[in-house]
Homo-oligomer: A and B are copies of this chain.
């Protein structure tokens, strides 16, 4: 799926900033693609973008309205429908990362048909995927992997893309989850594909490319998460990364959503490398990315220095420190 740009970000009646975190992520990483925001009465989120109506957005050149707000249950609120229909009538596509499909709402489906616009449910891909083949393909690839879910794999991948580009290298972030897809305009929600096609989806996502091109693939889950490890392994095999970056959140006490302990960092790196060798024998770990927001800066510095010494790898907080140290190592290890 490919989203037409630029975007209008629909914030609905988000009760707080956190409810609009999908939209906030898009603005953080793709400010230039976001021409405006559309807020309903009672909305408490504000991304600082110009307020636009659907018609006003269309007049400014907007091509897609993104439903950038989540509510409890992941459903689409009935009082949003009128605005979505107005966006379609104004000539915009509408894209959503909600569980509920836009096209399952009759008024929205009818309006899309009437105005010839696309409804894009990024959680429900309609690709005809092939099974993974494991064959080596040209181009370089990096995958962010994690000790757990929600430890910063997407942010780390985006920071790596940005830094590689700043250094004049050809690099593309490859999205594997809904927010990432809005940020990159393209991608596949790998946790939503049929299980036989996980590695095939990853191969589709990062196809053969120029020998010096970097795909920076957003990781999902963890090989140590009892709910989602299968997704992580298929993504590892299909991405056939030359390099991995291990992502970790030191304040986490149990795996997200289940009462299981977190793996050790060395153990997690080792299993990712052992499994990754199946499709790329040269796979190497080039750094550790830590979400240290729960620590003060002194404690974070101490913790990161300890990790770097223990594992012989650059260890950074991508948001606080940037990822230059990891990119330095990456370019030394994979020339």
Q: Footprint of B on A, CB under 8 Å?
A: 72-74, 99, 130-135, 190-200, 223-224, 226-235, 237-238, 255, 257-260, 271, 274-275, 278-279
Do B227 and A230 touch (CB < 8 A)? no
Protomer copies: 2
Q: Report how far A78 CA is from B101 CA in the complex, Å.
A: 30
Q: Which chain B positions have C-beta within 8 A of A191? A: 194-196
Q: Please give the distance in Å from A265's CB to the nearest CB on chain B.
A: 16
Contact partner of A195 (CB less than 8 A), chosen from B73, B130, B194, B260, is B194
Q: Report how far A231 CA is from B255 CA in the complex, Å.
A: 21
Do B132 and A227 touch (CB < 8 A)? yes
Q: Which chain B positions have C-beta within 8 A of A134? A: 226-227, 255, 258, 260
Which residue of chain B is the closest to A200 with respect to CB atoms? B227
Contact partner of A234 (CB less than 8 A), chosen from B195, B271, B274, is B195
Q: Which chain B positions have C-beta within 8 A of A199? A: 226-230
Q: Which chain B positions have C-beta within 8 A of A238? A: 226
Which of A73, A197, A229, A232 has the most CB atoms of chain B within a 10 A radius of its CB?
A229
Do B275 and A229 touch (CB < 8 A)? yes
Q: Which chain B positions have C-beta within 8 A of A255? A: 134
Do A99 and B229 touch (CB < 8 A)? no
15 sampled A-B residue pairs with Cβ under 8 A = A72-B131, A99-B196, A132-B226, A134-B227, A134-B255, A193-B195, A195-B197, A195-B198, A196-B231, A224-B278, A226-B238, A229-B233, A230-B231, A230-B233, A230-B237
Q: Report how far A257 CA is from B74 CA in the complex, Å.
A: 33
